[in-house]
């Protein structure tokens, strides 16, 4: 049922599942001791199940990197199971206060997650380190993208639906038609890499749009 409906109704079935995750925790970590368990990736059911299976005082946190209601409804129905594990975790951590408030209002009541379990920690920003890195010379393999007189556009972000790289590529195609020496560099990877590669090929932009990973 967890793989079909991403949830269990019976308390007995839930206990069996949690005991199974506890066995898996012992298999993976053995006798290792941790004060806290942080599921930073936030989308993997396996680690959510393993981490929330322990009830011995260790603090368990699961990160929420986005507005998870939309992620659940539009892309990842299995997140329903993640929300169930979140109810067992000590904290559900969003990456900003506004994101936390959004997740709190959308998820607390439908998935029985206590309000006090929602918290946030802002994404780390390092502007000075960014300036230092920006001053470093280009790697030889990257110099090819900056040769010529055309403008170079750069975007950084995972290749997922909410980033909407498809719209960006379509927009760039209009620029490329007038300025054939321009380039678009897309830094990041994700589930939509193949679809975006096909889109680039269909628009005949292979020499101008580069998925750099």
- Between 24 and 66, name the one with better pLDDT: 24
Q: Report the pLDDT averaged over residues 113-129.
A: 90
| Beta-bridge partners for 42 | none
Phi-psi sector, 206: left (phi>0), alpha (psi -120 to 50), beta: alpha
Token reading at 65: 């990197």
Does residue 1 have a pLDDT over 70?
no
Given a cut of 70, is residue 96 above it in pLDDT? yes
Mean pLDDT of 191-209: 93
Are 173 and 149 contacting, i.e. CB atoms less than 8 angstroms apart? Answer: no
pLDDT at 66: 85
Name the burial class of residue 153, with classes exposed (0-12), middle (13-18) and buried (19+) by CB atoms within 10 angstroms of its CB.
middle
Which of the residue ranges 110-114, 142-146, 161-165 would you say has the lowest mean pLDDT?
A: 161-165
> What pTM was computed for the model?
0.66
- CA atoms of 103 and 85, how far apart (whole Å): 15
Average pLDDT for 13-24: 90
Among 169, 160, 155, smallest CA distance to 205 is for 169
């Amino acid at each position: 049922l967890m793989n079909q409906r991403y949830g269990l109704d019976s308390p007995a079935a839930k206990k069996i599942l949690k005991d199974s995750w506890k066995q898996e925790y012992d298999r993976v970590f053995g006798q290792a001791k941790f004060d806290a368990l942080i599921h930073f990736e936030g989308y993997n059911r396996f680690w959510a199940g393993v981490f929330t299976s322990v009830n011995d005082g260790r603090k368990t946190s699961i990160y929420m990197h986005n507005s998870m209601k939309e992620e659940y409804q539009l892309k990842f129905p299995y997140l329903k199971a993640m929300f169930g594990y979140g109810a067992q975790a000590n904290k559900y951590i969003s990456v900003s206060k506004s994101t936390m408030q959004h997740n709190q209002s959308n998820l607390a009541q439908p998935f029985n997650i206590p309000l006090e379990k929602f918290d946030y920690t802002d994404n780390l920003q390092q502007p000075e380190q960014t300036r230092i890195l920006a001053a470093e010379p280009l790697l030889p393999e990257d110099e090819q993208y900056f040769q010529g007189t055309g403008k170079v556009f750069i975007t950084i972000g995972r290749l997922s639906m909410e980033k909407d790289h498809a719209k960006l590529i379509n927009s760039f195609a209009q620029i490329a038609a007038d300025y054939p020496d321009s380039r678009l560099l897309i830094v990041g990877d994700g589930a939509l890499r193949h679809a975006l590669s096909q889109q680039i090929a269909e628009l005949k932009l292979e020499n101008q749009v580069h998925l750099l990973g």
